[in-house]
Copies of this chain bind each other. A is one copy, B any other.
Amino acid sequence: MGRWIVDSPLELEPLLRETEDPGSGALVIFYGTVRNENEGRPVQAMTYEAHVALAEKTLNEIEAETLEKFGVRRCRIQHRIGTLQLGEPSVLIVVRGGHRTEAYAASRYAIDEVKQRAAIWKEEHYADGDSRYLDGVPLTRKDETPA
């Protein structure tokens, strides 16, 4: 566990303090939260697993890219692992920028990249007791697989 991957409830306050910046006029915060249904099936909980070292490296990279690409002034990303109940936040993204246009765009970029690139997996637990790992985005390209 560390700066980006945490196994306890996500806390906004420390990230707000860490990113305080009088040069920013816009603060956009995104939380992904556990939803009570997916594709029509009632969900009861969600378990998140990570390759912690890899995921931390990727989230660190995404923070740096977000600052660079959008000219925002602060970007912090945290993702929680473990079993989360309905409504609990799994991911938290804090972006501060001079103005709102770039802050919204940067926040959106960061969450899209997290979903595409971070070594994190989720298993949905359904109300009927069944559970399933969700289909996701391959980290590898087809030409990298064994012949």
Q: Which residues of A contact B (CB under 8 A)?
A: 12, 20-37, 86-87, 89, 96, 98, 100, 104, 107-108, 111
Contact = CB atoms under 8 A, between A and B. Distances in A.
**Interface SS of chain A: helix, strand, loop or mixed?**
mixed
Contacts of A28: 28-31, 107
Within the oligomer, what is the number of copies of this chain? 2
A107 B23 CA distance: 22
Given A100-B111, A104-B104, A35 B25 contact: yes
Contacts of A107: 28, 104
B30 A25 contact: no
Given A27-B29, A30-B100, 11 more contacts: A21-B87, A22-B87, A24-B35, A25-B32, A26-B30, A26-B31, A26-B33, A27-B31, A28-B31, A35-B98, A104-B107
Contacts of A24: 33, 35
A104 B100 contact: no
Nearest to A31: B27
A124 to B, nearest CB: 12
Nearest to A23: B36
27 contacts: A12-B12, A20-B87, A22-B35, A22-B36, A23-B35, A25-B32, A25-B33, A26-B30, A26-B32, A26-B33, A27-B29, A27-B30, A28-B28, A28-B29, A28-B107, A29-B29, A29-B30, A29-B31, A30-B100, A30-B104, A32-B100, A33-B96, A35-B98, A100-B108, A100-B111, A104-B104, A104-B107
